[in-house]
Amino acid sequence: MMAWFASLVILGSVYVAALAFRLLSHLTVCLRRPKDLRRCYGTWAVLTGPTSGIGWSVAMELARRGLNLVLVGRDPAKLRDISETISRAAPTVQTKTVLFDLSLLTTAQGEEAMRQLQQTVEELDVGLLVNNAGVLEPSAVFLHEADVEACVDMIRVNLLALTEVTAAVIPGMVNRGRGAVVNLGSASSEAIPSLPLYTMYAATKRYVARFSKCLHVEYRRKGIDVQCQAPFFVAGTMASRFAEARRFVPLTPTPDAYARAAVRWIGHGPLCVPNFRHQIMWFFAGIAPDFLQDGILLRDHLWQRNELQTTRSLPEVCPIKQGGHAAA
């Protein structure tokens, strides 16, 4: 009996020590002086998906740190908007834009955009790459219901584009002997056992985590830090689709709050959860049994699927005409 009790005490002590170590590691990064990204890595950063949400906030945070930015996106008006916003907020920061619809990567148009990106980064001291762009669609569907073209677009953006953009940027880092790559993954592939009805999304994000870990091992001796950041929900359009996001609003940071934490964590390990609220969620996800999480998530996503199907089946409302003009 005493041996059994002693074993429980030892196991409990080890578990508590592990939690304490994780907490201490987080506090150490949060409280230490922020890393000088320009000095450690280089004067330019490449950022995909910078026109909204986390991408917009990360762009602004990097600009505040004095990094010049290559902004890669598919909407010229939105790229111009973020570029002008950065210029007003940080007049000394330079920006360049590359028009690139990552979902067209394997097409002739996508190949031309990739050549433009390669040409742009070859001329610059690019020390940081942030692969932020991602696609959630198709959402809340069974695999046999998913639109094939939407699935192909998701694979191109979440998986293929991330790989090829990294391959385009990292040679310059190797030549200079310094650099950092940050890939935006997801807690859906790392912290929870499954993400039913979002199977392909979770699977592509699992690739991001494994890809980042392997590159971290390959390139750290060459002075390059490769990291996957795995957040839970961040306030915004994408998170608003999930019932569980509304359930955990107190633990859902804003994009700006996430970006501040995310930039602080650059260079600290191959896999991280930068925001402390997300670390709390990760802790509780590790405690809850898999079958319980699977059941709750399946229930929530089936409810969401029904809601989306109802919305999609609603007839379009014809405009009411007054004097030959449609009423707004």
**Length of the chain in terms of residues written:** 328
Residue 91 sits at φ, ψ, to 5 deg, of -60, -25
Known catalytic membership, residue 201: yes
Determine which one of 201, 207, 219, 258 is catalytic.
201
d(CA 16, CA 209): 26
Tokens of 36: 């000088």
Tokens of 174: 């190797």
For residue 275, give the nearest of 130, 90, 58 by alpha carbon: 58
Please, what's the b/e burial string for 246-255 (b: 16 or more CB within 10 A of its CB; e: otherwise)?
Answer: eebeebbbeb
For residue 279, give the nearest of 5, 3, 26 by alpha carbon: 26
Q: Beta partners for 226?
A: 181
3-class DSSP assignment, residue 99: strand
Which residue numbers are catalytic? 201
